[in-house]
């Protein structure tokens, strides 16, 4: 048999037989996005003082992960934090993120709902369906479209109207 003929046959065998088998069993680098049907809130520490409510301004520290039904704590890959969201503001150094509860401007809807009712010093674990997070658009490079998220949130400050 001619060496080129053998090489051609081996190449054809690899492409037609082995490659599809390898691809079928190869692990994917990233899991498919998972979603949940509704928001879930678990208070891990109850804070003190008045609860945050409609139109209040708050400061929070948070971290969020992609939701994973196979992880023991449902936390998949970490996707972001309040320090990143605060950007270059002075609060970014301590991870505080300041925003107003309702109306939402630049904040995912689920985050404002998750903080509503919290008291200063309180901590919550919140699972958000994709519809209350980044939805069908996702967050470029961080959150795939239609992905549920899991947040750990701490309310660090509640502003009274004179402090706005």
Question: pLDDT tens across 2-59, in order?
Answer: 555 655 554 445 444 544 444 444 344 456 889 999 999 999 999 999 999 878 889 8
**8 Å CB contact between 37 and 128:** no
In what helix (H) or strand (E) does residue 107 lie, and over which residues does it extend?
none
**Angle (nearest 5°) at CA 105 between 103 and 109:** 70
pTM exceeds 0.75, yes or no: no
């Amino acid at each position: 048999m001619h060496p080129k003929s053998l090489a051609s046959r081996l190449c054809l065998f690899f492409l037609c037989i082995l490659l599809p088998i390898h691809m079928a069993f190869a692990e994917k680098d990233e899991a498919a996005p998972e979603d949940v049907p509704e928001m879930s809130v678990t208070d891990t520490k109850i804070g003190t003082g008045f609860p945050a409510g409609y139109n209040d301004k708050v400061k929070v520290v948070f971290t969020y992960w992609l939701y994973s039904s196979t992880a023991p704590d449902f936390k998949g890959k970490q996707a972001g934090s309040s320090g990143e969201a605060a950007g270059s503001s002075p609060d970014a150094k301590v991870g505080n993120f300041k925003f107003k509860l309702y109306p939402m401007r630049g904040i995912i809807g689920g985050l404002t709902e998750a903080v509503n009712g919290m008291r200063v010093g309180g901590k919550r674990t919140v699972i958000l369906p994709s519809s209350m997070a980044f939805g069908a658009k996702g967050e470029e490079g961080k959150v795939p479209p239609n992905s549920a998220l899991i947040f750990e949130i701490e309310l660090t400050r509640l502003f009274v109207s004179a402090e706005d």
